Amino acid sequence: MPVRKLYKSLRAKLNTKQRSALSKLVFSISGKPFVYAQNQAIYKGFPQQQRGGFIISADFEMAWAFRYSKRKVDPLAMAQLERENIPELLKLFERYNIPITWATVGHLMLESCKKGDHDWMQRLPYVDDHWKYTSGDWFDADPYTDYKADNAWYAPDMLELILQSPVKHEIGCHTFSHIDCLDRNCPPQVLDDEIVACKNAAKAWDIELKSFVFPGGTAGNYPILNKHGFQIYRKNVDHDLAYPYPDEYGMLITPSTSAFGRIHDWSADYYIYRFKTMLDKAVKTNTVAHIWLHPSVDKWTIAEVMPEVLRYASDLREAGKLWIGTMGDIANHINGGE
């Protein structure tokens, strides 16, 4: 059994406090974060000859991510928290000059829509897997109004804030309506239509989508991504650190290393220690540490953990050790762009 599956199997049998202790133990004795075994074979360096890299991606999804969640989360409350946090996150990234990839649900790029606008799109079949969607229509939650009336489902104002930041962030793709992309759940035409809808929405903003993040980590339908010219995607795999490496279609995989967010009752110092360890090991092993977050991340993490991690990353960059950029930046470098 792969290490990640074995860990998940054991973890599922424990209570919250035991899970927290297990994670600490594994981190301290296992050699985590784990490095991709073939890393040196595919290593092509960094833009300014740094020794390691750091990518942050944010799953910008508002209410779309939570309407079929099994955690019974209020989609509107999560969207409001995201709206509150995004300006603070942008200020934080500006303070340390950290560009990130905003993996954006395409519907959020719209200022408005009306009933029938999405009828051309093939719907995701009913599924009870990562999420539970077993009745109605996939777009039942869509209010078919505009961002002034229903700003949990449209966010052109938030997108504009991101694009106006003095830091050059990337807008990536997170599907149009936050679908399950797994092969077993998603017919290829569904993802194809979703990406076409994303491209149409992005075109109005003069945005070219190069990077892809699977909603909920539901990775699949790779030929469709390749068809639409995506260069790189984030994926959960058995290793934590790697220089982005090609899949069978020539697209680059950037493994997810960890996520910002208070999922354990650990101190801020311990969280910071873990993230610093990931960055140090990325530098030591010529790999990329890819940390992701939901913009609805808890405010304690934004205030108590992220500033110190970003400051540390910035210091490593100033020392010439760490490259910091977006998914699109590293893909462009590897593929021979400027």
- 10-residue block means of pLDDT along the chain (338 residues)? 68 82 84 93 95 98 97 95 98 98 98 98 97 98 98 98 98 98 98 98 98 98 98 97 98 98 94 98 98 98 98 98 98 85
The answer to whether residue 7 is domain-embedded is no
User: CA dist 42 to 204, 222, 232, 290, 337, Å?
Assistant: 37, 21, 15, 17, 17
CB contact burial 117-152 (16+ within 10 A = b; e otherwise):
ebeebebbeebeebbebeeeebbebbeeebbeebbb
The boundaries of the domain holding residue 67 are 52-281+288-334
Residue-level pLDDT at 181: 98
Query: How many structural domains comprise the chain?
Result: 1
Residue 182 belongs to a domain: yes
- Assigned domain for 27 exists: no
CATH of the domain at 266: 3.20.20.370
> Does 220 fall in a domain?
yes
- List pLDDT tens digits, range 26-68: 888 888 999 999 999 999 999 999 999 999 999 999 999 999 9
On the 0-12 / 13-18 / 19+ scale of CB atoms within 10 A, 201 is buried
- 42 domain-assigned: no
Q: Are 190 and 122 in contact (CB under 8 A)?
A: yes
